[in-house]
Amino acid sequence: MFESKAGILGIAGIGFFLFAFISNVWTPILMYKDVTEKTAEEVVNYRVMAHFGDLNRRYPEAFQEAFGEPTEENCAAALRLGRQLYIGEGCWHCHSQFVRPVSNESKRWGPVSTAEEYQNELQRPVMFGTRRVGPDLSHEAGRRSNDWHAVHFFDPPLVSPDSPMPKYTWFFDGAPNKPNKRGLAIITYLQWLGTSLDSYPYYEQVNADAEEDY
């Protein structure tokens, strides 16, 4: 059995793989199967709508061309596009989206992440991330203004001098006050992250004097 073709293919190849699949994948699926997965339309709320409307007021021409009126339906479309850009542009390789219950993370980033936060269309595939070069973004919404994000995407060191983040000039038509459809969408997405929480917006509780200590 241990050296036969049937043993290796059947037990090691398929059997052990299935055992691992059932225990490690099927178990969480069964546990969360009753938590409904919301659609992008269902996760639009008044908080992200406030930012969506603000984008419309700040950059009316680009906004109207990209999304038309700032309706909830158009906001859902912007969220979808924003999430696709978040993945396609590789944001998730330098920014995580989960707050752990250790290492003072809940002071810096807000409440520890719960399963409900991830049960929606915009977390499929889930954007946990595995590396933090830049900050965690799971509760990013509302912390910074739309124009801050616009300038930051255009040239990060302008507002965050030490940042190694690349420029995303292609989210703009030449200037930081002219975001295009992609720029508007990704800002909308960022201003949605964490809007479902009671603690919105969560501001970092960091040791502001620490900069001089280091």
**Nearest-angstrom CA–CA distance, 190 and 83:** 9
Considering the complex, what minimum distance in angstroms separates the CB of residue 42 from other proteins?
13
User: Does the protein bind other proteins through residue 213 (CB under 8 A)?
Assistant: yes
Instruction: Identify which of 32, 40, 36 has the alpha carbon closest to the alpha carbon of residue 121.
Output: 40
**Nearest-angstrom CA–CA distance, 35 and 126:** 15
Scan residues 26-45 and list those touching other proteins (CB under 8 A). 27-29, 31-32, 35, 37
User: Does the protein bind other proteins through residue 89 (CB under 8 A)?
Assistant: yes
Considering the complex, what minimum distance in angstroms separates the CB of residue 120 from other proteins?
7
The smaller minimum CB distance to other proteins, of residues 46 and 162, is found at 162
Structure tokens at 188: 């909308």
Considering the complex, what minimum distance in angstroms separates the CB of residue 13 from other proteins?
3
**Nearest-angstrom CA–CA distance, 134 and 126:** 18
Considering the complex, what minimum distance in angstroms separates the CB of residue 184 from other proteins?
10
Kindly indicate which of the ranges 51-59, 142-150, 177-185, 188-196 contains the residues binding other proteins, using the contact rule CB under 8 A.
177-185
**Nearest-angstrom CA–CA distance, 212 and 75:** 42
